[in-house]
C-alpha cells in the first residue's frame, strides 16, 4: 500500500507564557500531523490554545510567549524548538511565512499594510510566487477577490484598507493568503465575522485551493458545521492539551470517546440559532495559573472518577489514527438528530468503533 509522508508533523509542542514574571503553561504536549491536501479542524472553547498553536507553527508569537520544546517537520524540513537549535529554527520559520505557509488571522488589521491599496497587496503576493506580468497578476488578483465574495472588485482593488469594512478586509486578507498558493494555510476562525452566504463562498475557495493545488489546511473554528463541511480530520483542544484527535472525521463525530468532545458535540447550536454562538458547556475552562493534577476537564466532567485527578492522562486509544486522553473513554453519546442535521451528517455508520 502506498503511504504518503505528512506535509506537517507537530510533536510534543510545549508553549509557556510569562505573565507578571510568572511562567505559565499554555500548550502542553500538543501533537498532530497533516497530509498533503488534508484539512484538519482544530476546535475547543475560547482560551484553549488554538491561536497559539497556529502562531507557534508560523513562528509568530509575542515576546512573552515561548515555545519551550517540541519538534516540527514541514515539507521534509525539521524544526526543533527549545535548546541550542531554537534561534536557527526561528530564523528558518520566517522564510516559510507568506511563501510555503500563509495564515489568515481572526483580525484582518494585523495582516494588511494600511498605506498600500489592497489590490496591490494581493498582486504582490501573486508575483512573489509566480513570474507573471503585472497586468496578468492584477487580473488574477481580481478573480481571487471575486472568489472571496467581494462584489465590485474592480473598484475595491484600488481602495486602501481603511476604506473597507471589517468584513471586506477579511475577504481581502483571504484573497492575499490564497494568492501565494501556499502548501499550508493556517486559518484562525476566518469566517466568524462574515455572513452565511459569504462564508459559503469562502469555504468553496478553500476547497478549491485544496483540490486544485493540493494545499493542506489547519482550520481553527468554533463551528463544528464548518468542520463537518470542510475537514477530513479533527483535533480537540482543552486547556492547552489535546483531549481527542482523529484522522477520520466521521469516526470522531459519530463516535466520540472523550467526554469533552461529546460535550462539544452536544452543545453545538442548531442552525436557526445562528452558528456563531459559542459553546455552552456548564462550568468554565481553567485559568492558565490554575494548578491541576490529572485530567484538566475533571472539574466539569460528568463521568469523573477518583483516578482521574491523580496523574497526567496518557493517550488511551487503541484505534490507529485516534488519540484519546481520557482514562475511561466514556464520552460516547453520538450527537442528537438536531445537531446531526446542523452538521449535515447522515446516519452514523453502524459497527464503527
Of positions 304, 315, 319, 332, contacts ligand SF4 by CB under 6 A: 304
Of the pair 105, 297, the CB lying nearest ligand SF4 is at 297
List Cβ neighbours of 109 (8 Å cut-off, separation of 6 or more): 161, 169
- Closest to ligand SF4 by CB, 64 vs 305, is 305
Q: Which of Mg ion, ligand ADP, ligand SF4, none binds 297 (CB below 5-8 Å, type-dependent)?
A: ligand SF4
Site for ligand ADP in 253-312 (CB under 6 A): 288
Minimum distance from CB of 188 to ligand ADP (Å)? 7
By beta-carbon proximity to ligand SF4, the closer residue of 75 and 315 is 315
Query: CA-CA distance, 88 to 79, in Å (whole number)?
Result: 9
- Count CB-CB contacts under 10 A for residue 87: 9
Cell of 121: 497587496
Q: Which is nearer to ligand ADP, 284 or 344 (CB)?
A: 284
326 binds ligand SF4 (CB under 6 A): yes
Q: Which of ligand ADP, Mg ion, ligand SF4, none does residue 288 bind (CB under 5 to 8 Å by kind)?
A: ligand ADP
Q: Which of 327, 339, 343, 345 binds ligand SF4 (CB under 6 A)?
A: 327
Site for ligand SF4 in 257-286 (CB under 6 A): 258-259
State yes or no: residue 30 binds ligand ADP (CB under 6 A).
Answer: no
DSSP bridge partners of 237: 242
Q: Which stretch binds ligand SF4 (CB under 6 A): 132-140, 214-222, 224-232, 320-328?
A: 320-328
CB 48 within 8 A of CB 240: yes
Residue 141 to residue 126: CA distance in whole angstroms: 7
Least gap, CB of 329 to ligand SF4 (angstroms): 7
Partner interacting with residue 301 (select from ligand ADP, ligand SF4, Mg ion, none; CB below 5-8 Å by kind): ligand SF4
For Mg ion, which residue of 51, 89, 102, 199 counts as binding (CB under 5 A)? Answer: 51
φ/ψ region of 108 (left if φ > 0, alpha if ψ in -120 to 50, else beta) reads: alpha
Minimum separation from the CB atom of position 103 to ligand ADP (A): 13
313 binds, among ligand ADP, Mg ion, ligand SF4, none (CB under 5 to 8 A by kind): ligand SF4
Q: Which of residues 41-60 bind ligand ADP (CB under 6 A)?
A: 44, 46-52
Residues at the contact surface with ligand SF4, assessed by CB under 6 A: 258-259, 295, 297-298, 301, 303-305, 308, 313, 326-328, 330
Residues at the contact surface with ligand ADP, assessed by CB under 6 A: 17, 19, 26, 44, 46-52, 62, 64-65, 288
Residues at the contact surface with Mg ion, assessed by CB under 5 A: 51
Amino acid at each position: 500500500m502506498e503511504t504518503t509522508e505528512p506535509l506537517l508533523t507537530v510533536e510534543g509542542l510545549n508553549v509557556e507564557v510569562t505573565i507578571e514574571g510568572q511562567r505559565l503553561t499554555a500548550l502542553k504536549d500538543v501533537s498532530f500531523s497533516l497530509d498533503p491536501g488534508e484539512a484538519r479542524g482544530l476546535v475547543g472553547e475560547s482560551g484553549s490554545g488554538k491561536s497559539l498553536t497556529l502562531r507557534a507553527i508560523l513562528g509568530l508569537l509575542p515576546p512573552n510567549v515561548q515555545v519551550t520544546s517540541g519538534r516540527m517537520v514541514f515539507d521534509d524540513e525539521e524544526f526543533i524548538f527549545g535548546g541550542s537549535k531554537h534561534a536557527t529554527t526561528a530564523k528558518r520559520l520566517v522564510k516559510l511565512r507568506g511563501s510555503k505557509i500563509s495564515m489568515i488571522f481572526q483580525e484582518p488589521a494585523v495582516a494588511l499594510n494600511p498605506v498600500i491599496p489592497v489590490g496591490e497587496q494581493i498582486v504582490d503576493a501573486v508575483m512573489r510566487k509566480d513570474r507573471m506580468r503585472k497586468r496578468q497578476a492584477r487580473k488574477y488578483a481580481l478573480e481571487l477577490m471575486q472568489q472571496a465574495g467581494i462584489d465590485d472588485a474592480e473598484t475595491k482593488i484600488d481602495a486602501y484598507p481603511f476604506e473597507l469594512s471589517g468584513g471586506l478586509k477579511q475577504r481581502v486578507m483571504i484573497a492575499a493568503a490564497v494568492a501565494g498558493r501556499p502548501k499550508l494555510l493556517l486559518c484562525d476562525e476566518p469566517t466568524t465575522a462574515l455572513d452565511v452566504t459569504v462564508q459559503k463562498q469562502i469555504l468553496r475557495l478553500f476547497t478549491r485551493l485544496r483540490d486544485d493545488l493540493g494545499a493542506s489546511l489547519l482550520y481553527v473554528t468554533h463551528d463544528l458545521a464548518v468542520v463537518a463541511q470542510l475537514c477530513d480530520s479533527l483535533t480537540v483542544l482543552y486547556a492547552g492539551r489535546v483531549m481527542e484527535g482523529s484522522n477520520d472525521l466521521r469516526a470522531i463525530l459519530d463516535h466520540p470517546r472523550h467526554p469533552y468532545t461529546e460535550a462539544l458535540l452536544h452543545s453545538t447550536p442548531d442552525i436557526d440559532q445562528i452558528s456563531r454562538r459559542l459553546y455552552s458547556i456548564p462550568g468554565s475552562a481553567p485559568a492558565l495559573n490554575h494548578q491541576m493534577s490529572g485530567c484538566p476537564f475533571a472539574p466539569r466532567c460528568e463521568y469523573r472518577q477518583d483516578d482521574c485527578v491523580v496523574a497526567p492522562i496518557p493517550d488511551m486509544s487503541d484505534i490507529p489514527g485516534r488519540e484519546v486522553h481520557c482514562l475511561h473513554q466514556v464520552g460516547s453519546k453520538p450527537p442528537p438528530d438536531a445537531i446531526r442535521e446542523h452538521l449535515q451528517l447522515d446516519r452514523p455508520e453502524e459497527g464503527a468503533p
